[in-house]
Chains A and B, each alone.
Chain A
Amino acid sequence: MKSPSGASEKAGGRKKAAGKKAETEVSMEVWRLQEENAGFARYIREKTNQLLQVMGTEPLRPEEFEDRELLNLDPIGIIAGSLEQVFEYLNETITKLSEARDEMQAIFDATGVGISIIDQDFSIVKYNEKQRELLVDKQLDNVCGRYCYEVYCLKNGPGLDCPAVDTFATGRPVVVNEVRKKDKYFQLVTTPFSRNTNGEVTRVIEVALDITARKKAEEEEQRQRGYYLAEKSKLASVLQSLSEGLLVTDSRNRIISANGAALQILDLSQQQVLELKIDELFADCPAGARTIFDVGTPHACQNVEIRFRSATRELLLSVNSVPLVDPDGNPIGRVFTFRDITEEKHRQEVFHRTEKLAAVGQLSAGIAHELNTPLGSILGYARLLLKGSNLQPDQRERLGIIAEQAKKSGAIIRELLDFSRLSTPLPNQAMRCDLNKVVAEAIRVLQTELDKRFINVKLELSKIPEVEADPKRLEQVFVNMLLNSAQAIGSNGEISISSHCSGHEVRVSVSDSGPGISPENLSRIFDPFFTTKPVGTGTGLGLSICAGIIKDYGGAIDVRSTPEEGTSFTIILPLPGKAHGQ
């Protein structure tokens, strides 16, 4: 029999062995688990390093973080969270880029200019609808991938004038201001669109701006400008060729333009006239007519007579004015036209005077004729009675007065008949007459009278053609003129007589150094019976008769007088065959 202790020892030994085995197994399991954990840790470290590289940094160094520390940090979770943010940001960016691309496409398509992108082979990469409309043949569908020179320029290769060639070569934008294609005008701009790593341009963007409307507007403007310049030139020529003076004023009444006739009539230079105020130029305008200058006067003013004193003479001008308005109808100035009516007015006065003379002459002739017969009877019977021997002295004296007064009345009637030229009808004789000789004869007739008055006669007679007139009648005219001058001077003075030929006329002037004739009398001196001489010393018919004689020969008498300086009569007679109406 085995002792219990032996069995117990044996059992204890077996138990111990089993315990060791179990311990070993546990150790083995722990070791296995540790190895497995280390493998997981290495895996996590490797993946962490991989993710760190993705994040752009270096891997963890072995000494960095114990495995446990690393696991506690949760690097993969951290990086996953960060990548989530990166993706979120990427998605946002992609959305924005997509929106931006859509916007760009919309702009690309909707823009008013044609745009195409061309690569280095001159292939069209992209183009917008406007470019298709402007430069692509309607029959072509999609032209992407086709050569731009074929599609746009209808050529077999890029031309020397192609701006894309320049941009590819130089890398700089090129502008071609005017290209004509498909009956339209374009402005082309090419700019670099993308470059390779060497900086070479790989694509250009070409922008085509349709400038046809602008070009046509420019051409139209050019045409209109040419038209306006031609019209302006034409108008300037017309204005310069006008015989009437023309002045244009601005809104401030200042003269801004004057034609040649205006300067000639006014005897002023362009510099003297420009910027002068019109109302200052025509300062002698009658007060009642000064609205002619007012820029606000809406209507035209016509035939306003204004006296103008030029450097050499005094003129009478007939002035018209019309308002000058802008396209909206606002007044911006006035246009004045005028002509010199000095001579015309003078001739009118002479004509009216002559007409008046003719009327008075007819009346005078009738009266004279009717009075001549009874007056002849009065004178005849008075003289018959005076022959009687039984007359008392006082009766004889009274009869003598009757005869004398009847005789004087007869003389007046003869003058009246002379005036009316009924008593001595004008002999229609075509006599040639040298006016210089007539003047000399008239002076000779009056020499005694002139000497008595100490009046010197100064002659400035030119060689003049003969006129067609009766020398005796003309002598009567010059005697009358000289006598008038002598009577005006009184004593101690000078009479100048000059003659010259002017155009178709001969002019002889008789000027005296007398006191002159007042303006109010000047217009009446040719009126019959008008005299300034004392009563009984003049009939007032002398100058009327002279005017009548000169008129008979188709001439006229001009008179100009300045008070205190003297008077000048000019007898104007036409050359043979040149009388008025002939």
Chain B
Amino acid sequence: MTDKKKIELDILGQVCPACLLVVLREMNTHRLRLKNGEAQLVIKTDHRDTTRTIPESARKMGYDVEVRSLETCYEITIGSK
């Protein structure tokens, strides 16, 4: 996932389910690029529930998801293998 174009999405301060809708909208918008592996969506969030709801939804759509805990927030990366 490292050499792909990164589409960054900052939803710091937002909570579920609003942030899930925002992320789903981005995933719909960039669907083709995410599916064929050209790009990956990198989300920054500080809402803990989001680290569960977003990966669950993304995986149901067939994406690979990686969640990393950073110092002040979480980073969720969504893309294809």
Instruction: Report which A residues bind B (CB closer than 8 A).
Output: 52, 55-60, 64-65, 73-75, 78-79, 81-82, 85-86, 88-89, 92-93
CB contact under 8 A between A58 and B21, given known A78-B28, A82-B57, A89-B61: no
The residue among A78, A88, A92 with the most chain B CB atoms within 10 A of its own CB is A78
Which listed residue, A59, A82, A93, touches B24 by the CB 8 Å rule? A82
For B57, the chain A residues whose CB sits under 8 A away are 55-57, 82
CB distance from B61 to the nearest CB of A (A): 4
In the bound assembly, the distance between CA atoms of A79 and B61 in angstroms comes to 12
In the bound assembly, the distance between CA atoms of A59 and B28 in angstroms comes to 21
CB distance from B27 to the nearest CB of A (A): 7
CB-nearest residue of chain A relative to B53?
A: A57
CB contact under 8 A between A57 and B16, given known A82-B57, A86-B61, A89-B62: yes
The residue among A55, A65, A82 with the most chain B CB atoms within 10 A of its own CB is A82
Binary interface encoding of chain B residues 1-25 relative to chain A, with 1 for a CB under 8 A from any of its CBs, else 0: 0000000000000001110110011
Instruction: Count chain B residues whose beta carbon lies closer than 8 angstroms to a beta carbon of A.
Output: 17
Q: List 5 A-B contacts (CB under 8 A).
A: A73-B21, A81-B28, A82-B61, A85-B31, A89-B62
For A86, the chain B residues whose CB sits under 8 A away are 60-61
CB-nearest residue of chain B relative to A79?
A: B24
Q: Is B66 an interface residue (CB 8 A)?
A: no
In the bound assembly, the distance between CA atoms of A519 and B60 in angstroms comes to 112
Binary interface encoding of chain B residues 25-49 relative to chain A, with 1 for a CB under 8 A from any of its CBs, else 0: 1011001000000000000000001
Instruction: Report which B residues bind A (CB closer than 8 A).
Output: 16-18, 20-21, 24-25, 27-28, 31, 49, 53, 56-57, 60-62
In the bound assembly, the distance between CA atoms of A88 and B63 in angstroms comes to 12
CB distance from A449 to the nearest CB of B (A): 125
By the criterion CB–CB under 8 Å, are B27 and A82 in contact? yes
In the bound assembly, the distance between CA atoms of A79 and B56 in angstroms comes to 14
For B20, the chain A residues whose CB sits under 8 A away are 52, 55, 57
By the criterion CB–CB under 8 Å, are B17 and A57 in contact? yes
CB distance from B58 to the nearest CB of A (A): 9
By the criterion CB–CB under 8 Å, are B62 and A78 in contact? no
In the bound assembly, the distance between CA atoms of A79 and B18 in angstroms comes to 12
For B27, the chain A residues whose CB sits under 8 A away are 82, 85
By the criterion CB–CB under 8 Å, are A78 and B17 in contact? no
CB distance from A91 to the nearest CB of B (A): 10
By the criterion CB–CB under 8 Å, are A81 and B24 in contact? yes
CB distance from A391 to the nearest CB of B (A): 153
Which listed residue, B16, B18, B53, B61, touches A85 by the CB 8 Å rule? B61
In the bound assembly, the distance between CA atoms of A64 and B13 in angstroms comes to 13
Which listed residue, A55, A65, A73, A82, touches B28 by the CB 8 Å rule? A82
CB distance from B31 to the nearest CB of A (A): 6
The residue among A52, A74, A88, A92 with the most chain B CB atoms within 10 A of its own CB is A52
In the bound assembly, the distance between CA atoms of A88 and B61 in angstroms comes to 8
For B53, the chain A residues whose CB sits under 8 A away are 55-57
CB distance from B46 to the nearest CB of A (A): 17
By the criterion CB–CB under 8 Å, are B17 and A59 in contact? yes
For B61, the chain A residues whose CB sits under 8 A away are 82, 85-86, 88-89
In the bound assembly, the distance between CA atoms of A89 and B24 in angstroms comes to 15
By the criterion CB–CB under 8 Å, are A58 and B28 in contact? no
